Amino acid sequence: MTHLTHITPSARPKLVKRSWHIFDAKSHVLGRLATEVATHLIGKNKTDYSPEADMGDFIVVINSRHVKLTGNKELQKTYSRYSGYPGGLKKVTLEKAKANKPNFIIHKAVWGMLPKNKLRKIRIKRLFIYESDTHPHQKEVIAQG
């Protein structure tokens, strides 16, 4: 008597096909943009998605300076970091962060939406954020997000 067995093939890095997507931050709200970008970085938009494998695509975000915000977040939302020393707590409002480093707020939003595991740092390296609409990835980008 023969037993039929079926083994689901796992996603191997050589078989993963990565494409490039471009997102224009002018036409998106920050949180909605971050969820779309995180979904593509993880690879959940693909039919052969596997949670333990790194299946995501490359993402280019342009016009980060013009990202939209809802409500009163520009004045109320703060980003804080702590140096570890007494008196080393630094806080900056979203308004100041957007004026000084607009790429930071998109990077921070996407970073928070990625799963907290070993693939997080690898996935975030495939995210490229630019303040204007010019970027060096013109040849690679094939899909408009």
Report residue 145's pLDDT band, with 50, 70 and 90 as the boundaries: low
**Is residue 109 packed enough to be buried (19+ CB in 10 Å), middle (13-18) or exposed (0-12)?**
middle
Answer whether residue 26 is part of any domain: yes
Residue 65 DSSP code: G
**Residue 30 placed within a domain:** yes
Note whether residue 125 is domain-resident: yes
74-105 per-position pLDDT tens digit: 999 999 999 999 999 999 999 999 999 999 99
pLDDT at 1 over 70: no
Q: CATH code at 116?
A: 3.90.1180.10
Closest CA to 12 of 39, 38, 42, 48: 48
In a domain, 2, yes or no: no
Q: What is the DSSP letter of 29?
A: B
Which DSSP helix (H) or strand (E) runs through 24? strand 20-24
Q: How many domains does the structure of the chain reveal?
A: 1
pTM of the model: 0.88
80 in helix, strand or coil? Answer: strand
Per-residue pLDDT band at 138 (split at 50, 70, 90): confident
The answer to whether residue 139 is domain-embedded is yes
Q: From CA 21, how far away is CA 61, in angstroms rounded?
A: 9
70 or 8: whose pLDDT is higher?
70
Per-residue confidence (pLDDT) for residue 14, from 0 to 100: 75
* Residue 119, in any domain of the structure: yes
Q: Which domain holds residue 28?
A: 19-69+102-144
Place of tokens 């609409």: 133
Any domain includes 132: yes
Would you tell me how many other CB atoms lie within 10 Å of the CB of residue 26?
13
Q: Within a domain: residue 11? A: no
Strand (E) or helix (H) holding 58: strand 58-62
